[in-house]
Amino acid sequence: MNNNKEQVVITVLGANKPGILAGITRTIADSNVNVEDVSQKIMQDLFALMMMTDFSAANCSFEEFQNRMQAMADQLRVKVFIQHEDVFRYQHRL
Q: Which residues lie near other proteins (CB under 8 A)?
A: 7, 9, 11, 13, 37, 39, 41, 48, 50, 52, 62-63, 66, 81-92
CB atoms within 10 A of CB 10: 24
Residue 81 C-beta: closest distance to other proteins, Å: 5
Residue 85 C-beta: closest distance to other proteins, Å: 7
Instruction: Pick the closer one to other proteins by CB: 7 or 27.
Output: 7
Burial 14-52 (b: 16+ CB within 10 A, else e): beeeeebeebbbebbeebebeeeeeeeeeeeeebebbbb
Which one, of 43, 15, 40, lies nearest residue 25 by Cα?
40
Instruction: Pick the closer one to other proteins by CB: 30 or 86.
Output: 86
Residue 30 C-beta: closest distance to other proteins, Å: 20
